Every structure is written in C-alpha cells, then in structure tokens.
Amino acid sequence: MPQRFQPPRDLVRPFLFEALDIRGAFVQLHEAWQQMLERRDYAEPVRQLLGEMTAVTALIASNLKQAGRMAFQLKGSGPVKLLVLDCDEQLRLRGMALAEPDLSAAAVPDLLGHGQLALTLDVAAMSQPYQSIVPLDGDRVAAIFEHYLSRSEQLPARLFLAASSDCVAGLFLQKLPSADQKDSDGWNRVQILAETLKPEELLGLPSVQLLTRLFPEEDIRVFDPRPVAYHCPENRDKVRDMLRSLGQAECEAILKEHGEIVIHDDICNHEYRFDSAEINELFRVP
C-alpha cells in the first residue's frame, strides 16, 4: 500500500482570498522551535517573546524570492535587551534572546522598554545589504510588526501569534491594493473573524482546518506548504578565520592569560575551544 503523504509539521502555508484580494499565510513550528530552545534557559516571558518573533520571521521570510538572508533585531532598553532572528530563502532559521534572568510576567512594553526594530536584508541581487529601522510601537509583538509592515510596504496587515514551550504559530493577513474594489467590506469582515482566533487553535489545528473553521463563508485558495527548519550548524573554519584576523600576538596573549581561547557563538549557542597547539598550527607558515 502506498504511503500517504504527510505534510511537514514545521511549515508555512500561503493562501489567498480570491474574491477579496487579501493574501495570507499560516505558520506552525514544532521541532524547529524546540531545537532553538535547546540548552537555553529562558524565563517564560522571554520565551514567549522569542517564540512570537520566530513565527513572524518565518512568515515574512517566506516572501523571499532570491537567495539570501533576512534578519530581524529587536533591541530595547527594558529587561529583555535583544531578540535576534534570521532566516534564509529556504526557510532555515535561527535565533536568540538576551535578557535579565528570572523575569516575571509583564506587559510587552515593560519587558522591552524603548528601542527599535531593525531589518537587514542581504540577497544576491543587492550590491550591499539593505537595512530598515523603525521605533518600537505597539503593546504586543504582533502590533510592533504590524506597524513595521504598514510603514515598509504601505499595505494594511494583521498578525495573530501564539507561543508555548512546544510550538509557535502565527496567522498573517494583508490587504492588497484592489481589495476595496472587489469587496468594500471584505477586509473589515476578515479582520473581525480573525480576531475570534484563540491561541490554542493557532497552536493545535492544522492549517486547512483552521482556515475552514475561521472563514467558513470565504473562498480561499490554499497553496502547498513550505517546510521550515532550524539551521545553526557549527562552523569552526569561520572561527579560525576570525582568530587569524586578530593576529598571532593577540591570540598568544589570550593563551598566556587563560590557557586556552574560548569563543561562544551566542546566536547558535555553540562553544569553540582552541589550545596552544591549534593556535600554533593556525599561524604556522607553510
């Protein structure tokens, strides 16, 4: 008996309200999210923020049409200092948070404080990376990114996000330019229905079932899902290149003081150790 096709558990699924000219996408991540959390001891509020930002990053990066990377950096003055997510055109992502330990639950503006959201886009067709920076504006991660999208794309958008220790999920909706001509009430109607969405539905329902339940009267074209993966392999050669750039004298000075050189890659949570024999080999003249 032929095996039945099983869609990936970690996926982004685009869709389109054909009669309304409204597009959308759904994301749900299980294994990729749990891999990102491995060997990380984030407090629950930090995990929540990072999870929601992970879902948003996958949704937005799914629009990348060329080889390259998209990185979001949310930097604030509050106890959550930094959230970083980056994703390539194959939807391979990685991310991290930097925050004070043992944080208690609090409103998002209290956790983040004043700060900025920065996008860096580095694709093959560009001679240099593109960067866009907007102030933090919103009382939720979804609202912060809605503000960013409205400024950068000049099109109204809505985001609905949920995160737990096991899964992160999100629903993205965007009004396209001719939506009002097709149905003057369409965008308002879709938003009202989307606002009834419960976090447990986002986290627990498959994409097609969720869309059918949420928008039962709408004609929705659902596209094939795209798999998403956590991708943060060790790259010892890159670290060796960085040590070469420091120079032999600097490396030997660190060895003399500490006995070894330890480099920690924060975003991937890898640690690289180099002893004196490896450093001597690194600078050995052929």
Over the stretch 235-253, which tens digit does the pLDDT of each residue have? 888 888 888 888 888 888 8
Range of the domain at 271: 236-282
Question: Beta strands 229-230 and 261-265: pairing type?
Answer: unpaired
Q: Are residues 271 and 201 in the same domain?
A: no
Q: Are residues 60 and 114 in the same domain?
A: yes
| Mean pLDDT comparison of 224-233, 243-252, 270-279, highest-scoring range | 224-233
Confidence check: pLDDT of 66 > 50: yes
Rounded to whole angstroms, the Cα distance separating 60 from 62 reads 5
For residue 26, the model assigns a pLDDT of 98
Domain boundary among 210, 230, 250: 230
Q: Are residues 207 and 167 in the same domain?
A: yes
131: CATH: 3.55.30.10
Q: Are residues 209 and 270 in the same domain?
A: no
262 and 272 Cβ atoms separated by less than 8 Å: yes
Q: What are the pLDDT digits (tens) for 99-153?
A: 998 899 899 999 999 999 999 998 877 778 889 999 999 999 999 999 999 888 8
Confidence check: pLDDT of 164 > 90: yes
Instruction: Look at residue 3 and tell me if it is in a domain.
Output: no
144 and 80 Cβ atoms separated by less than 8 Å: no
Q: Are residues 97 and 129 in the same domain?
A: yes
For residue 286, the model assigns a pLDDT of 62
Listed in sequence order, the residues at least 6 apart from 174 whose beta carbon sits closer than 8 Å to its beta carbon are: 22, 23, 24, 149, 153, 155, 156, 157, 158
pTM reported for the whole predicted model = 0.88
For residue 186, the model assigns a pLDDT of 94
| Mean pLDDT comparison of 26-30, 102-106, 279-283, highest-scoring range | 26-30
Q: Are residues 226 and 247 in the same domain?
A: no
Q: Are residues 201 and 261 in the same domain?
A: no
Listed in sequence order, the residues at least 6 apart from 112 whose beta carbon sits closer than 8 Å to its beta carbon are: 49, 74, 76, 77, 78, 80, 136
Q: Are residues 264 and 133 in the same domain?
A: no
Coil, strand or helix: which one is 239?
helix
Q: Which of 24-33, 73-82, 125-134 has the lowest mean pLDDT?
A: 125-134
Coil, strand or helix: which one is 39?
coil
Q: Are residues 59 and 153 in the same domain?
A: yes
Per DSSP, 11 falls in state E
